[in-house]
Structure 1
Amino acid sequence: MDIQISGRAMDLGEALQQHVREAVEAGVTKYIGRPAEATVTFGKTNAKLADMRGREFTCEIVLHLASGVFLNTEGHAADAHSAFDEAMEKLDKRVRRYKRRLTDHHNSQKDPLPAEAGSSYVLQAPQLDEEETDDPPLVIAEAPATLRRMTVSDAVVQLDIGKDPVVMFRNAVSGDLSVVYRREDGNIGWIEGQNRA
């Protein structure tokens, strides 16, 4: 299993890196027999937030499975080891849930999901105290994104195991762009575009 470990503005000791490698490999291979890649990134929160919450360290784990599914978790704690342990506990639950869903749907022999390139944008939130203007919102960040071709049930699984509140995908049945999202009442909503040729 390929595991990349890095720290943002901090040095990581060999003991921590060894602990991360062993825990991620054991936690993932226990449920998933196919190859996977993981990226584990440590960082520190800004000083004001750390003082308020008593959580100075963050750990983010991104697991990319051979099926094309991404699982993301994050942990916060007073030390790097505890932040990783919190993130790993969440990852273990998500991998277990993903494996259970695959077993339930008899889908364990899936090929990687077809995908197409796209872009992801972060827009500046409107300020409540400013006058309304016709200016479009500012683009704060732009990153490449992948738009996967999958069934609605696969998109719901991705929504359930990921941390994003919405999943946009190309419907494998109709070929249209679709979105699944978690509603305020806890149910899942599905929006599908109409392909007008």
Structure 2
Amino acid sequence: MKINIIGRKVNLRNNFKELAEKKLAKFDRIFDQDAEATVTVTVERNRQTVEITIRQRGAIFRAENTAMDMNEALDHCVSALGRQMRRNKTRLEKAKKVDPGMEFADSYYDEPEEELQVVRTKRFAVKVMGPEEAIMQMNMLDHEFFMFRDDVSGEINVVYRRKNGDYGLLVPDEK
């Protein structure tokens, strides 16, 4: 797995980089060499945020944690990634085509397996509008996200409310 470590508003020490690489190396047996992991550390007002994103063949695993100490935030992120991988074990096995008997059990994977199930399907007309109007509609409905057809590109897009209160826009990739 290829690992990129990025520091925003902070100069990262070598011992943190080595620790991050050591902790992510535990996932090498799950991901192949084409996988890319990006560790981003941001420091704002004495709060340190660590975000880890692992991409492999269209599958994305992501965890983010904010703490007073970046090592603590890193530990929480690695633990969260382990839980995600445990929950998605069969999907990972199919994507990598590994031996189904492969051991996923370790201290990061102590959560019981859960069954994923769609409990409700809702249909609605997707209207043509711009992102600003979609945000307004989302706020009026008091939802966390809103799907719409972009008035410029004609593609289906999604606006969503981020944890910090800002808004995000999901746009289909050209690939």
Whole-angstrom distance in 1 between the partners of 2:40 and 2:95: 31
Q: Which runs of 4+ in 1 moved over 3 A?
A: 100-103, 106-110, 121-128, 140-145
- Listed one character per residue, the Cα deviations across residues 58-103 of structure 1 (whole Å, up to 9, x for unaligned) are 01111001x2111111011111111111111111111232223444
How high is the TM-score relative to the length of structure 2?
Answer: 0.54
Whole-angstrom distance in 2 between the partners of 1:107 and 1:16: 31
- 2:122 equivalent in structure 1: none
How high is the TM-score relative to the length of structure 1?
Answer: 0.48
Whole-angstrom distance in 1 between the partners of 2:86 and 2:170: 30
**How big is the shift at 1:29?**
1.5
- 1:170 equivalent in structure 2: none
The 5-angstrom pairing of residues 28-177 of structure 1 reads: 28-33=27-32, 35-45=34-44, 47=45, 56-65=47-56, 67-103=57-93, 108-109=96-97, 123=132, 125-126=135-136, 145-146=172-173
Aligned residues of 1:40 and 1:62 also touching (Cα < 8 A):
yes
Whole-angstrom distance in 2 between the partners of 1:80 and 1:6: 13
User: Is residue 5 from structure 1 mapped to residue 5 from structure 2 by the alignment?
Assistant: yes
Whole-angstrom distance in 1 between the partners of 2:131 and 2:11: 30
Whole-angstrom distance in 2 between the partners of 1:25 and 1:123: 42
SS in 2 for 1:88: helix
Counterparts in 2 of 1:97 and 1:123: CA distance versus 1, 3 Å: farther
Whole-angstrom distance in 1 between the partners of 2:70 and 2:59: 27
The unaligned stretches of length 5 or more in structure 2 are 99-129, 141-150, 152-166
Identical amino acids, percent of aligned pairs: 23
SS in 2 for 1:146: coil
- 1:151 equivalent in structure 2: none
Whole-angstrom distance in 1 between the partners of 2:52 and 2:131: 21
The unaligned stretches of length 5 or more in structure 1 are 51-55, 111-120, 129-135, 149-197
Counterparts in 2 of 1:79 and 1:70: CA distance versus 1, 3 Å: same
- 1:23 equivalent in structure 2: 23
Amino acid at match of 1:40: V
Aligned residues of 1:31 and 1:96 also touching (Cα < 8 A):
no
The total of aligned residue pairs comes to 117
Whole-angstrom distance in 2 between the partners of 1:24 and 1:84: 10
Aligned residues of 1:6 and 1:42 also touching (Cα < 8 A):
yes
Higher strand share: 1
SS in 2 for 1:29: coil
Whole-angstrom distance in 2 between the partners of 1:5 and 1:76: 17
Aligned residues of 2:85 and 2:92 also touching (Cα < 8 A):
no
Amino acid at match of 1:10: V
Whole-angstrom distance in 1 between the partners of 2:34 and 2:2: 8
Whole-angstrom distance in 1 between the partners of 2:66 and 2:85: 20
